[in-house]
Amino acid sequence: MEIAGWVHAALARVDDWPAELDRLRAEVATEPPGAAKLQRTIELADAMEHVVPDRGKALALYLEAWRGGELGARPHLLELARELRAYMTLAEVATADHQDTRDPEALLAAGRAYIDAGFPDLAVQTFTRALDQHPSLADAIATAPRLADVRVAIARSKFLTVDVEREVDACMGRKHYLQAARIARVAKLTRRDAILGLAVRAMPDDLDLVRMFEDVLLDSTAEEFLAYHSARLNTIVDDAVWAETARTAACELVLRNIHPGLGLRLLRMSVERAYAAKLPGGTRRHIAAWDLLATNARATKSLLSLAPLLAEALRLELPPLDALYIARLGLEVTWREAGDPLAAQPYAAALLDAVPGHPAAAAFLDEAFADVPPIELLPVDDPAPAAEPTMPTVTFKIPVIARVPSSELRRDASPIPAAPEPPPDAAPRSPRKVVPIDVVIELPNGSFFSAVLRDVSASGAFVTTKRPLAEGAVVTLELQLPVSSKLAQRSFRIDARLARRTELGWGLAFVDPPPELVAGITALTDG
């Protein structure tokens, strides 16, 4: 995705992009009202949507621009509001549409959005207003099959006798699944979940139904969620659609902190699928997806596990901002984490190509080539502010001291750092796999909590948690082990001893692991 030049230029100069976007938002908010401010608001919203995992910030900016009169924000606003289940926003837009067009269908759409939001009273008020302002609706609401949900909501508000089950069955027979689901919600029928399950199987491309059903699944087990999405993804042939579908589902899990291990694995699979297919731009909201992966990896000190995926990204033709992100993160992983100057050189070269004099790349040159006499890279002034280019020239106005010119960096070197050699006296260890795995930990007193395993081996695992636990205690794990690289997992219940504590969590030693678990972990670590 191409980002507006002024936003790109601002991001290229800093390390914390979400914080910089927040600063730009505050800056734009102080500008005088007008078309220029509205345009910058939309451009900032586009950047937020692509870069920041919290899509609510982008939604707020689109809403601000739309309320200010920028009609170009409306399509983005509606799409993101539906994706985020922001039904109150959808109701607001539909109500405004009615004020502009006097179309009674707009008020009906607003009322239905209130039902979806869980406010049937507001829905009835809106439907009643539609009747008051458009008396011709009365006959249609009383008889039209397409308005069954409106009819039932109004009737129940007036305590009129209505056969809800019959109305639901009639809607199902006509394949009016959204109406059936809304009637079930208004009437608080327990069948609503079953209705949505039937609906998504019959109409798998109806995203409104899919999102409603996903909300049901998010309150269920990981197995049910995974079974649904496995079946759904197995029917998708198009790589772009597969990657987008997987990314959307993964982000819901990670951002809501529901089965986050499964979400992180699914998110990585979506990026890998996009890269394997050489999709232009990787995936939609490409940087936001990477930010979720990188944030988790930093928190669990597992950034090196991202190195192979970063190497794939480095070889792709990405949009300028995306390429800059990958170069900067790749340099962090290969140099700051791995300390491998050879693996870091392709990233440093890409970073300097994108942003001459970038401080992170300049620091790498200074540190990695300390025995080379320094040279001064003269600063270059920013170009005169003309029409904003898509890809601005970003430079720094301070002299940068470096050891070698960027042109002398090895661009053909492997961008994956070498594995560190174990100490000569280190005891043999089972091969381990750095992979996020959801786990429920039951303590000796019967209490339990959910967590994520950072890595696993045939003899043990490491769990990231800040909970104070007793070293040496034996706990029971209910873990969801991925089946190799497939979108599937198996549940295992096993005892483990709390062997060692670090600032991140606990190292666990399995107690008599069953052969099936050992075989599953061996297949995972060999894959």
Poorest-pLDDT segment among 174-188, 264-278, 324-338, 412-426 = 412-426
Who's near 326: CB < 8 A, 6+ residues apart?
A: 290, 310, 313, 314, 318, 347, 350
The pLDDT of residue 97 is above 90: yes
340 burial type by CB count under 10 A (0-12 exposed, 13-18 middle, 19+ buried):
buried
- Give the pLDDT of residue 206: 93
Contact 318, 326 (CB under 8 A): yes
- Domains of the chain, CATH where assigned: 5-221 (no CATH), 432-526 (2.40.10.220)
3-class DSSP assignment, residue 456: strand
| CA 465, chain centre distance (Å) | 22
pTM: 0.89
- Give the pLDDT of residue 69: 94
Contact 372, 394 (CB under 8 A): no
- Give the pLDDT of residue 386: 46
- Span 208-238, pLDDT tens digits: 999 999 999 988 888 888 889 988 999 999 9
- Give the pLDDT of residue 398: 38
d(CA 130, CA 216): 31
- Span 336-395, pLDDT tens digits: 999 999 999 999 999 999 998 888 998 998 898 888 776 665 554 444 444 444 555 555
pLDDT band of residue 407 (cuts 50, 70, 90) is confident
What value does the mean pLDDT take over residues 136-154? 94
pLDDT band of residue 430 (cuts 50, 70, 90) is confident
d(CA 14, CA 525): 37
Exposure on the CB side of residue 98, measured as CA atoms within 13 A: 19
Contact 478, 452 (CB under 8 A): no
* Distances in whole angstroms, Cα of residue 209 to Cα of each of 49, 161, 201, 266, 504: 23, 28, 10, 21, 40
- Give the pLDDT of residue 423: 63
Identity at 226, one-letter amino acid code: L
Structure token pair of residue 178: 């959204």
Structure token pair of residue 440: 């429920």
Question: 289 or 418, which is more confident?
Answer: 289
Structure token pair of residue 319: 């949009």
Contact 103, 96 (CB under 8 A): no
- Give the pLDDT of residue 380: 47
What value does the mean pLDDT take over residues 129-153? 95
Q: What DSSP element (H or E) covers 463?
A: strand 460-464
Beta strand extents in 25-184 (DSSP E only)? none
> Which value, to the nearest 10 degrees, does the dihedral of the CA atoms of residues 182, 184, 188, 192 take?
-110
- Give the pLDDT of residue 344: 96
- Span 31-69, pLDDT tens digits: 999 999 999 999 999 999 999 999 999 999 999 999 999
- Give the pLDDT of residue 2: 78
Q: What DSSP element (H or E) covers 435?
A: strand 432-442
What value does the mean pLDDT take over residues 455-469? 94
The pLDDT of residue 482 is above 70: yes
> Over the chain, what is the mean pLDDT?
90
Contact 268, 313 (CB under 8 A): no
- Span 240-287, pLDDT tens digits: 999 999 999 999 999 999 999 999 999 999 999 999 999 876 678 999
pLDDT band of residue 170 (cuts 50, 70, 90) is very high
What residues form DSSP beta bridges with 442? 448, 476
| CA 35, chain centre distance (Å) | 31
- Span 110-134, pLDDT tens digits: 999 999 999 999 999 999 999 999 9
